[in-house]
Chains A and B, each alone.
Chain A
Amino acid sequence: MVIYGVALLSFCLLSGVFLGDFLGTILGIDANVGGVGIAMLMLILLVEYLKKKDKLNNQTQEGLSFWSAMYIPIVIAMSAQQNVVAALDGGPLALTAGVAAVFISWAFVPLLSRGGNVNETLESEIPGGDQRVRNIR
């Protein structure tokens, strides 16, 4: 059922957020430390496990891939509610700092990704198991 996929996703997010808050409390900062990242790792591991066990049918996958496909629309909604006016009013300082940080970070991307074995072929699509787990995106 589609809801199984959605529930699986929800379970991962809730666990991740909980662990992130928990980590934040341990470290003494009022922040969620990597909660979404933890949730993503959980989902990847759970999907891989369920694939192996043959317990992830097509409808369950649809519950996951729907929300995955909703990602870009949600990002657009997110950008439509940013405080753009303040960012522009924030003065040349904010603009200079933001722009400089982005360009300098860009310059470092090739340096860091060069290490290791670059020439190996990377899979562009990930078909999985007998149930053909793959991303609709």
Chain B
Amino acid sequence: MKHLKVKSLEVTSVLEILGNALIDNGLIVAFTVVGITMFLSYFLSDKLTKGRIHGSAIAIALGLVLAYIGGVVTGGEKGLSDIGIFAGIGLMGGGMLRDFAIVATAFGANFSEIKKAGVNGVVSLFLGVILSFVVGVVIALAFGYTDAVSLTTIGAGTATYIVGPVTGTALGASSEVITLSIAAGLVKSILTMIGTPFIAKYIGLNNPRTAMVYGGLMGTTSGVAGGLAATDPKLVPYGAVTATFYTGLGCLLAPSVLFLMTKAVFG
């Protein structure tokens, strides 16, 4: 009887069973996918670059490639997680578990190091937000935007892709400008993620103090933490501890002081 049953199963129904099993266990699929991605990345890192490019940097880049494929295939906004069987990626890489894991990296961090970088850390935060904001405004100006609201929104987005939409919504910017601001922040985040291991040795990024300054200047939490993880995982908590304040500070400064200043200059 059993044999007969197996024979009567069509290929399509087998695929259906498999598909359902994967959809019903989304988070578990995500663990598998990420595990395979990391395995491949560390293999490539070892064989192709002789370990010069850290495996995690390759893995993050591969993740972005997967996100691009997902975006092209589905036309959606959430990368790979828009594809049904990979929806669990959205949960695994979503805000809840991300914040949980970021906080966990603080385990083992040394508080005296954080105190040492205190003043520099705070200065780097303010300078980081203002610096990125000004760069964004100048570039937006060069691309033909002249009104204070659009300039401020794009400047804020250049800080991080969260500050951009928050500021744009607060000021009533157009949706096109808000999308641009998110894109600018995303480029910054991705470049920080991928570029950090390469630039690290040129800017002395090999100790907790510099990592905190780095977190404050760059600000993009995912970019800083991802980039530092690929440089030296021990530095992640120091960079992340300042970077997590950056978005808050940006949300605070951009729609208020920075907008008023932009308005005063450009009307």
Contact = CB atoms under 8 A, between A and B. Distances in A.
B179 A29 contact: no
Interface string A15-35: 011001001100101111111
B-side interface mostly: helix
B68 to A, nearest CB: 4
Given A83-B79, A112-B127, A98 B214 contact: no
Interface string A40-70: 1101110110000000000001001101101
B251 A31 contact: yes
Contacts of B240: 36-37, 40
B59 A84 contact: no
A102 B70 contact: no
A46 B103 CA distance: 12
B71 to A, nearest CB: 4
A90 B38 contact: no
Contacts of B53: none
A33 B252 contact: yes
Given A101-B159, A104-B131, 16 more contacts: A24-B251, A31-B162, A34-B244, A36-B221, A40-B240, A64-B104, A71-B102, A73-B34, A75-B101, A81-B89, A82-B64, A86-B179, A86-B183, A94-B180, A112-B120, A126-B109
14 contacts: A10-B100, A29-B252, A39-B99, A40-B103, A41-B114, A41-B241, A71-B102, A73-B34, A76-B93, A79-B193, A81-B89, A87-B182, A90-B179, A96-B139
Interface pairs A-B: 5 shortest CB-CB = A98-B187, A90-B183, A77-B93, A135-B108, A94-B183
Interface of A: 9-10, 12-13, 16-17, 20, 23-24, 27, 29-37, 39-41, 43-45, 47-48, 61, 64-65, 67-68, 70-102, 104-106, 108-110, 112-113, 115-116, 118, 122-126, 133-135, 137
